[in-house]
Amino acid sequence: MRIAFIGQKGIPAIFGGVEKHVEELSTRLVARGHEVAVYVRDWYTPKDLTIYQGSSLIHTPTVKTKHLDAFVHSLSSSLHCLFQGYDIIHYHAIGPSFFSWVPRLFGKRVVVTIHRFDYDAAKWGHIARLFLKASEKVAIRVSHHTIVVAKHQYDFYLAQGHDLSFVKNGVTAPKFTQPEKIVSKFGLKGKDYILFLGRLVPEKRIDWLLDSFLKMNPKGIKLVIAGGSSATDKYVDSLRRQAGDNPNIIFTGYVTGRLKAELLSNARLFVIPSAVEGLPITLLEAMGYSIPCLASDIPPHKEVITDDVNGFLFDHDKQEDLLLVIEKLLSMSESKLNEISGFARELVASNYDWDDAVDKLEGIYRDLLSRRR
């Protein structure tokens, strides 16, 4: 099969769950003998990179602003794909799927994956949210098949009478790595820091985590904020102002490769206080690394964490509860934490596998193509 992916910023994934998702799927589809094209944006994927692990990287125009980037790139990619002979055009995320009608109009088989309810993200204003709501309707009604990555999404759309598939995100096997780079770059030793890993966007509520840490001021513990802006420079600036000159708060920027593996291998606690998520790959990764994980009790987190069994939850409506639970976990015995994080690793290893996701995806593609014939 010849398959095109549209909507992601690019691969290899520097940041973003959608980008990680597409990288993992495209790599495995190529390994199974399919031809895969991934549409990328020049500001994310270097212009001279045209092949990545067997996938063709197609650079199409965009305008790098908060409101136009995804819109323009998805439109230019949708027009380009019409003349390439692809069997399947697969859109990722609600916003880019607005243009899924373009290849459909020209007789192409179209698939859409909805990763989260993007219109709930705090960075969007009223008009942008209306556009995303409209894009959601287009995605579901125009595509030949709709996919979601989380059970709560599946239940939501099923209750509205939509026919769709639930294909979970996966995780790659953890690469446990001794602290070296984090020692030289950040002065960390291992098991002496709380870790947040992800895009610095308002809906992830890093400000809640910062506020809790500043109030606790735990002795011998640092807070590592690993991630960067996603058209949210003002929010990132506010976080840095909030942290002030506290030497125990470290902003690393986006991390990949060995540095990311070291941070995940040696954290004492992983915290994700988000108000909005799909099925966060970073949480699955942290659980796979056997880090004790604390998450807000929103539906996607509750799909993977059972409180005090394989992780910990706090009341997503109460910022003070985040502080109380972090204090509790920092004083909890190492044996108890190891037991719970061990259960987390087992759950992720047995239930979240990229090869299983590709198996389901191939089945969906083949079904669409057989029905067309």
Q: Higher pLDDT residue, 278 or 357?
A: 357
Tell me the pTM: 0.91
Indicate the pLDDT class of residue 65, thresholds 50, 70 and 90: confident
| Distance in angstroms (rounded) separating the CA atoms of residues 176 and 324 | 30
Note whether 127 and 94 are within 8 A (CB).
Answer: no
Residue 371, H or E segment: helix 354-372
Neighbours of 243 (CB within 10 A): 19
**Of the CATH numbers 3.40.50.1010, 3.10.20.30, 3.40.50.2000, 3.90.1570.10, which one belongs to the domain with range 2-170+353-372?**
3.40.50.2000
Indicate the pLDDT class of residue 119, thresholds 50, 70 and 90: confident
Question: Cα 174 to chain center, whole Å?
Answer: 17
Q: Which residues pair with 89 in a beta bridge?
A: 4, 110
**Residue-level pLDDT at 372:** 63
What phi and psi, each to the nearest 5 degrees, are found at residue 3? -125, 135
Core vs surface per residue 338-351: b (16+ CB within 10 A) or e:
eebbebbbebbeee
Indicate the pLDDT class of residue 373, thresholds 50, 70 and 90: low
Do 2-170+353-372 and 181-351 agree at the fold level? Answer: yes
Token pair belonging to 19: 């980008």
Domain positions in the chain:
2-170+353-372, 181-351
Indicate the pLDDT class of residue 118, thresholds 50, 70 and 90: confident
How large is the average pLDDT for residues 35-53?
A: 96
DSSP string, 21-59: HHHHHHHHHHHTT-EEEEEE-TTTS-TT--EETTEEEEE
CA distances from 172 to 93, 286, 311 (A): 22, 11, 20
The CATH class of the 181-351 domain is alpha beta
pLDDT exceeding 70 applies to what percent of the chain? 99
How large is the average pLDDT for residues 85-111?
A: 95
